[in-house]
Amino acid sequence: MAVRRGGEAADLADAGVEALATFAQLLAGGLLTGLVFALVAVGLTLIYGVMDVVNFAHGEFLMLAMYATLGLALLGIGPLVGLPLVALALLLFGIVVYRVFVRRLLAGPPEATVFGTFGLLVLMQGLAQALLTSDYQSAPNPPLQGTLRLGPVALSQATLAEGFGALVLTAALFAFVEYTETGRAMRAVAEDRIAATLMGIDVQRVNGLAFGIGSACVGAAGALLMLSYPVYPTAGVPFALTAFVVVALGGFGSIQGALLGAVLVGLLEVFGGFYLSPELKMVPVYLAYLVVVLLRPQGLLGRR
Amino acid sequence: MHARRLSALLAAAFALAAVGGGGATRAADAPEIVIGSILPLTGPSAQTGAGLRTAQQLAADLVNGHVSYPLPMAGKSGLPHLGHARIRLAFADSQGKPDQARAAAEQLITQEHAVALIGTYASSTTATASQVAERYGVPFLNPDSSAPGLTARGLKWFFRTTPHDGTFAENFFQFFNDLKKKNKNLGVKRVAIVGEDGLFGTGASDAEEALVKKNGYELATRVAYPATTSEVNAEVQKVKTSSPDVIMQASYVPDALLYMRGYKQQNVAVKAILAQDAGFIDPNFVKTLGADAEGVFTREVFSLEIKHRNQAVPLIDQLFRQRFADKPLDGNTARDFMGVLVLADAIDRAGSTKPDAIRTALQATNIPGKLTLMPWNRIHFDATGQNDGGVGIIEQVQNGKYETVWPFDVAVKPPIWPMPAWKR
C-alpha cells in the first residue's frame, strides 16, 4: 500500500516535471515565434508611422525578398551572406515603388492608398505565379539547421537567428529614427507634414526613404525566413496577416510597439494552441486585438 | 480531258488518305461512338488537364488501334461487338469551375450526343457535372476525384474507379495487419492524428479516427490546425505529450516541413509517420529535409514500379512520354487512361449505345487488377457505383527516394520499421 502510494506520488511528481517542461518549451517557442513576427512587422509600422500608408502588399514584398534570397542561394550565396544584398535590393525596390506609384496615390483620396497597395498585392502574386510557377522552393543547404538544447527546452538555430535578427533590426531602426538627422526629419513629417515642408524638409524625399527603409527591413526578414521556410507566390500571406494584427496591437507607427505586439501575439498563439486547441489558436490573438482596439484604439504604445 | 481525270484521281487519293490515316478501312461504314470528356483545360489546373487529356486520347487510340497490350479492349480495332466502331473523345473545358463543368456536361450530352461522360479531376466539378448526367440518364465515369462523398449521393448513373480518401486511410490499417503477419510485435497501440482543418485534412482525419477505433487502437490525440499557419509549436507539443506510437498526418508543403522540423527538434519518437501524400510527396519535401525525411511513409495512387505486376506499365509510360514532352505517367494520368478503357469495355459488352444497356454493362464490370495499370485488386462497382477493388500503395523515403513498400506484391523494397531515430 505504502509502496503504491509512493509510486503514485512519484508519478505525480513526474507528471508535474513534465508539465513544467512543456510550459517552458511553449514559453520559449512563443517568445521566439513572436520575434519572428516582429521581424516582418517593423518595416510595416515604419512606413505607416511616417506617411499613414498601410502597405497591403507588405507580404508580397516579403515574398519577393524570399525569391531574391533563393536566387542568390542558387548562385552559391547563402541566406546570411545574401542578407545585406537582399536588403539593399529591397531598399531600391521600395524607393522605386514609392516614386512611381505610392507618391501618386498620396495625392488622391485616403482610400487610394488602400486600393492601390492592394492592387499591387494582386499584381505581384500574379506575376510570381506566372513567372516563377506556384511550386514550393527552399534554399539549398541553408546553414543553422541544428537544434540548441537548454535543459528541457529545444530551440531551432534558424528560429533563434531569426529572433536575434528581429532584435537587432528593431534596435537599429529605433536608433535611426531617434538619433539621426534623417530619422528626426521622418518624425517631423510624421507629426505634421505641412510644418515639416515649411521647415525646409523635402517630404517626398523623406517619404521615399521611409518606404525604402521599411522595404529593406522586410528584405532582411525575407532572407532570414529562408532559413526555415519555403518560398511560393503566396508565401508572404500568413506573415503579413499576423503583421497587420501586430502593428494594430502594438500601436500604429510605433517601432517598440511592434516588438511588444509581436511577442504578445506569439505567446497568445502558442499558449492558446496548446491549452485551448490548435484549431482555435488565433482566437486569443484576435480577442486581445479586439480588447485593445476597444479600450485603447491607438494600440498599446501608439500615440494619438 | 486528261486534266479532269487527273484531278478526280487526286481527289480520290486524298479521300483515301484521309480515311486511311488511322489505318482502319472499316471506319467509313461503322458508326463513331462519342464519349464526352470534361477536364480543366484552362484555369489553374490547366497543366494537369493537358496531361489527362493526352492520357485519355492515348487510351482511345489504343482501343481503336490494332496493337495488343495486357489491358482491357486495347488493340481490337474499335469495339468488336459494335462492328468495330471507333470511339471518339469529345473534350469540353471545365475551367476547374463547378458551373462551367455543369455547362460542359450539358453541351456534350445535347450537342455532341455523347453516350457516356468521363471526368472531371476536381471533386467539386465532378459533383456538378455528374448531376447533369443523372438528369439526362447518361452514364458518368469518374476516374480521378477522391472526395468520399461523391459516391454517397445515391446517384444511379455515377461510377467511380479510383479509391477515395477513406480507402487510403483503410490502407494504413491493412498495412499494419500485413506487417503484423510478418513481424508479430509491431508496437503500435496509440495513434495521433494530425490534419489541416480544410476539406482535405478534415476528410482524411475523420476517416482515420473512425478506423482507429474500429480496429481496436487508441486515439492518442487529434490535432486540427489552420493550413496557412507559420508555426506549429503548440501542435507539436500536443502530439509529443500524447505519447503516440504512430502519427497519421494530412498536410500541405509548408506545414509538412514545419511539423517534420518540430518533431525532430522536440525528439518526438514514433515508430512511423504515415502521411496522406500532398505535402509529403512534393518534390520539395525530400530535397529540403534531406536525411530528416528518411523513413517517412506516405500513400500514393500509382507507381511505375507496378510494372512488376503488369508489363504494360512501362510501355504505356513510353507512349505517354512521346506525346507529353517526356513527362512520365503519374497517378492522375494513369487513372484517366484506365477510365477510358473501362468505359470502352462496358460499351462493347453492352453491344449497344443505349444508356440503359451501358449502365447495366458497367454494373457487371469485373476487370482483374493484373489487367490494369493500377495497384488495384480489381475494377468492380458496388451498389453506390464505387469501385470496391481499389487500393492505394504506400511508399517510404529510403535513401532519399520514394520506394514502394506496400502492397507487398508490388513492393520493390521491404519497409523499414520502425523508422530511424532522428539524427542529431
Q: What is the pLDDT of residues A133-176, one digit of tens each?
A: 778 899 988 888 888 888 889 998 999 999 999 899 999 999 99
A193 alpha-carbon distance from chain centroid: 27
pLDDT band per the 50, 70, 90 thresholds, residue A6: low
Q: What is the least distance, in Å, from the CA of A24 to any CA of chain B? A: 11
Task: Look over chain B and give the mean of its residue pLDDT values, rounded to a whole number.
Answer: 89
Q: Which helix or strand (DSSP H or E) is residue A57 part of?
A: none
Chain A contacts of B238, Cβ < 8 Å? 273-274, 278
| Min distance A187 CA to chain B CA atoms (Å) | 33
> Would you call A29 and B233 a contact, using CB atoms and an 8 Å cutoff?
yes
Q: Which of B26-30, B148-152, B354-358 has the highest mean pLDDT?
A: B354-358
Residue A272 with chain B: CB contacts under 8 Å: 234
Q: Which residues of A touch B288 (CB under 8 A)?
A: 138, 230
Contact (CB<8Å) B231/A25: no
Q: pLDDT for B310-335, tens place per residue?
A: 999 999 999 999 999 898 999 899 99
* B226:A22 CB<8 A: no
Give the pLDDT confidence score for residue B6 in this predicted structure: 46
Give B197's contacts in chain A (Cβ within 8 Å).
279
For B:271-290, CB contacts with A below 8 A are 282-284, 287-288
- If phi over 0 gives left and psi between -120 and 50 gives alpha, with beta otherwise, what is residue B14? alpha
Residue in chain A lying closest to B225 (CA): A279
Q: Residue A51 has what pLDDT? A: 87
A155/A149 Cα distance (integer angstroms): 6
Q: Which amino acid is at B115?
A: V
Q: Across the interface, do A273 and B233 touch by the CB < 8 Å criterion? A: yes
Report the 10 Å Cβ neighbour count for B421.
Answer: 10
The whole-number pLDDT of residue A217 equals 93
- To the nearest whole angstrom, how far is the Cα of A9 from the nearest Cα of chain B? 20
**Interface contact flag, B234 A270, Cβ < 8 Å:** yes
- CB of A22 within 8 Å of a chain B CB? The answer is yes
Is A36's CB within 8 Å of B229's CB? no
Residue A32 pairs in a beta bridge with: none
* Chain B interface includes A26 (CB < 8 A): yes
What is the dihedral angle through the alpha carbons of A159, A162, A163, A166, rounded to the nearest 10 degrees? -170
pLDDT band at B375 (very low <50, low <70, confident <90, very high): very high
Percent of residues, chain B, with pLDDT higher than 90: 71
What's the CA gap between A187 and A125, in Å, rounded? 32
pLDDT at residue B128 is higher than 90: yes
CB contact under 8 A, A273 and B253: no
Contact B237 A22 (CB under 8 A): yes
The pLDDT-based confidence of B29 (bands split at 50, 70, 90) is low
User: CB-side exposure of A99: number of CA atoms within 13 Å?
Assistant: 9
Q: Which of B45, B230, B263 is the best residue to mutate to test the A interface, defined by the most A CB atoms within 10 Å of its own CB?
A: B230
> CA Rg, chain A, in Å?
21
State what percent of residues in chain A have pLDDT above 90: 67
Which of A123-137, A180-194, B28-42, B362-376 has the highest mean predicted lDDT (pLDDT)? B362-376
Contact residues on chain A for B278, CB-CB shorter than 8 A: none
Q: Which residues contact A154 (CB under 8 A, 6 or more apart)?
A: A25, A147, A148, B265, B266, B267
Residues of chain A neighbouring B202 (CB-CB closer than 8 A) = none
Instruction: Tell me the per-residue pLDDT of B245-296, one tens digit each, with 9 for 90 and over.
Output: 999 999 888 899 999 999 999 999 999 999 988 889 887 888 888 889 999 9
Residues of chain B with C-beta less than 8 angstroms from the C-beta of A273: 225, 233-235, 238
The pair phi, psi for residue B273, each rounded to 5°, is -110, 120
Sheet strands (E) in B5-52:
33-39
- Whether omega before B418 lies within 30 degrees of 0, making that bond cis, reads yes
Q: CA-CA distance, B345 to B334, in Å (whole number)?
A: 17
Q: What is the pTM of this model?
A: 0.79
DSSP-based three-state secondary structure for B137: coil
State residue B269 phi and psi, 5-degree precision.
-95, 110
DSSP-derived 3-state class of residue A243: helix
Closest CA in chain B for residue A31? B233
3-state secondary structure of B386: strand
Fold of B166-300+393-406: Rossmann fold (3.40.50)
B365 contacts: CB under 8 Å, gap ≥ 6: B342, B345, B346, B379, B380, B381
Q: Tell me the β-bridge partners of B118.
A: B37, B141
The yes-or-no verdict on residue A5 having pLDDT over 70 is no
B264 contacts A274? CB cut-off 8 A: no
Characterize B196-229 residue by residue with b for buried, 16 or more Cβ atoms within 10 angstroms of its Cβ, and e for exposed: bbeebbebbbbbbbebbeeeebeebbbbbbbbeb
Q: Is B192 helix (H, G, I), strand (E, B) or coil?
A: strand
pLDDT at B10 over 60: no
Q: Which residues of A touch B232 (CB under 8 A)?
A: 278
pLDDT tier at A302, thresholds 50, 70, 90 = confident
Whether pLDDT at B16 is above 50: no
Nearest to A230 among B223, B237, B257 (CB): B257
Task: Give the model's pLDDT for residue B423.
Answer: 79
> How confident is the prediction for chain A on average, in pLDDT?
90
Chain A: residue whose CA lies nearest to B286? A138
| CB-based contact, B267 to chain A, within 8 Å | yes
Residue type at position B7: S
Contacts of A59 in chain B (CB under 8 A): none
Q: Does the pLDDT of residue A179 top 60, yes or no?
A: yes
**CB distance B264–A272 less than 8 Å?**
no
Query: pLDDT digit string (tens) for A113-139?
Result: 999 999 999 999 989 988 887 788 999
Residue among A36, A138, A273 whose CB faces B288 most closely: A138
pLDDT reported for residue B30: 62
Closest CA of chain A from B245, distance in Å: 19
What does the domain layout of chain B look like in residue ranges?
Answer: 20-163+306-379, 166-300+393-406
Q: B231 and A156: CB-CB below 8 Å? A: no
State whether residue B238 sits within 8 Å of chain A by CB. yes
Report strand pairing: B218-225 vs B190-196.
parallel
Candidates A230, A239, A282; nearest CB to B253:
A230
- Indicate whether A285 pLDDT > 90: yes
B265 touches chain A (CB under 8 A): yes
Q: Do B166-300+393-406 and B20-163+306-379 have the same topology in CATH?
A: yes
Q: Which residue in the set B197, B234, B254 is minimally distant from A229, CB to CB?
A: B254
Query: What average pLDDT does this structure show over B9-18?
Result: 44
Residue A200 has pLDDT above 80, yes or no: yes
Is A138 part of the contact surface with chain B (CB cutoff 8 Å)? yes
Give pLDDT tens digits for B153-185. Answer: 999 999 999 998 889 999 999 999 999 998 778
Please compute the mean of the pLDDT values over residues B72-99 and round it to a whole number. Answer: 94
- Express each pLDDT in A222-259 by its tens digit: 999 999 899 999 899 989 989 999 999 998 888 999 99
pLDDT score of B9: 45
- Any B CB within 8 A of A269 CB: yes
Q: Which residue of B has its CA nearest to A15?
A: B241
Task: Please tell us whether the domain made up of B20-163+306-379 is placed in CATH 2.40.128.720.
Answer: no
A154 near B CB under 8 A: yes
Instruction: Tell how strand B246-250 and strand B297-300 pair up.
Output: unpaired
Chain A environment of B230 (Cβ under 8 Å): 33, 36, 229, 238-239, 242
Is some CB atom of chain A closer than 8 A to the CB atom of B388? no
| Most B-contacting residue of A136, A227, A269 (CB-CB within 10 A), to test interface | A136
CB-based contact A238 B265, cutoff 8 Å = no
- Residues contacting residue A248 through CB under 8 Å, at least 6 positions apart: A261, A289, A292, A293, A299
Per-residue buried b or exposed e for B20-56, using 16+ beta carbons within 10 Å of the residue's own CB: eeeebeebeebeebbbbbbbbbeeebeebbbbbbbbb
Q: Do A238 and B230 touch (CB under 8 A)?
A: yes
